[in-house]
Amino acid sequence: MDRASKSQEKFQQLFGNDETGLHLTDPDFHDILSRFVYGEVYNQGPLDDKQRELITLAVHVTNQTMPQFKAHISAALNIGLTPSEIKEAVYQCAPYIGFPKTLNAISEMNEVFKSKGISLPLESKKTVNEEHRLGKGLEVQEEIFGDVIVKIRESSPSNQRHIQDYLSAFCFGDFYTRSGIDLKTRELVTLCIISALGGTESQVRAHVQGNKNVGNDKELLIAAITQCLPYMGFPRTLNALACINEVITENDYN
C-alpha cells in the first residue's frame, strides 16, 4: 500500500469522515501533512495506536495546540482508549508544563467528554493520601531511577531540599502513583512531554535511562520520539534522539 492509501486508511480509522477543510483551501499542504503523518509516521516502529494517541495528546497539551488536541481526543476514543486513560495522560503533563497549561487542556478535554455524553467527574485514580504521598513517591522514583535518588537527596543543599521533597511527593507521589495507565506508559509519555518542551536535554537523558529501567527498550523510545516529530519538529526530535543514543548506545542495544 502506498503512502496516500495508508494515510487515507489511518485517517478514516482515527477521525472517520471528520475532514478539517484543509483539503479544500490548501490541498498541497493537506497532502504533505496527511501522507507524512498518517502514511509514514503512524506506521513506523512497534507502538500501537493507543500508545501513539496518548503520546500525541500529551505533546499537544505541551504545545498548547488545543484545536488539534480536541480532535485527537475524539480519535483516541475512536480507537479504544478510555476517558480515564486520556485523562491520566493529560494529568501527567502538570509537573512538567505547569498548572495553567494543564488546566487549559483539562477544560478542553472535559468539553469534548461532555459533547460525547461522558459523565463527569470520572472515577478517581488516586492511590495515595497526605500521610504517605512522599514515601510512595520516593518508592516510584527509586523504581524508575535507582539508588541515585537517595544520593541526590542527600547531596541537596538544605535551602533547596524542599524542591527534592516536592519532586518526590508531587511529581511522583501525586501523579506517578495514580492508576489508569501503567508505569511504563507514564514514563514513556513523560519522555515525550519533556522532549517536546525543548531545552531539557538533561531531563531527557534521565528519563531515557528511566524508561530503560522500567522495560521500555530503545526501539520503543525511537518510535515514541518519531511519533512526536510532526508535532514538535525536527530540532527537538533530533535533540531527543541524540539523548537516546547517548544513554543507550547502539552497542548496548545490540
pLDDT tens across 44-77, in order?
999 999 999 999 999 999 999 999 999 999 999 9
- Identify whether the C-beta of residue 225 lies closer than 8 Å to the C-beta of residue 192: yes
pLDDT at 250 (0 to 100): 82
Find the helix or strand (DSSP H, E) in which 249 lies. Answer: none
Nearest to 61 by CA among 98, 20, 18, 111: 98
Summarize the confidence of residues 97-122 as an average pLDDT.
98
pLDDT at 1 (0 to 100): 82
CB neighbour list of residue 122: distance below 8 Å, 6 or more residues apart:
83, 84, 87
131: which 3 cell numbers?
A: 500521610
Summarize the confidence of residues 85-94 as an average pLDDT.
98
pLDDT at 253 (0 to 100): 63
pTM here? 0.96
pLDDT at 112 (0 to 100): 98
- Indicate if the pLDDT at residue 251 is higher than 80: no
- Identify whether the C-beta of residue 214 lies closer than 8 Å to the C-beta of residue 236: no
- What is the C-alpha to C-alpha distance for residues 7 and 13, in angstroms, rounded to an integer? 10
- Identify whether the C-beta of residue 165 lies closer than 8 Å to the C-beta of residue 135: no
For residue 27, what pLDDT band results from cuts at 50, 70 and 90?
very high
- Indicate if the pLDDT at residue 135 is higher than 90: yes
**Average pLDDT of the chain, as a whole number:** 96
What is the tens place of the pLDDT at every residue in 110-134? 999 999 999 999 999 999 999 999 9
For residue 17, what pLDDT band results from cuts at 50, 70 and 90?
confident
Question: For residue 15, what are the CA distances in angstroms to 40, 70, 120, 142, 244?
Answer: 17, 11, 23, 40, 32
- Identify whether the C-beta of residue 96 lies closer than 8 Å to the C-beta of residue 172: no
pLDDT at 254 (0 to 100): 59
Torsion of CA 171, 176, 180, 181, to 10 degrees: 120
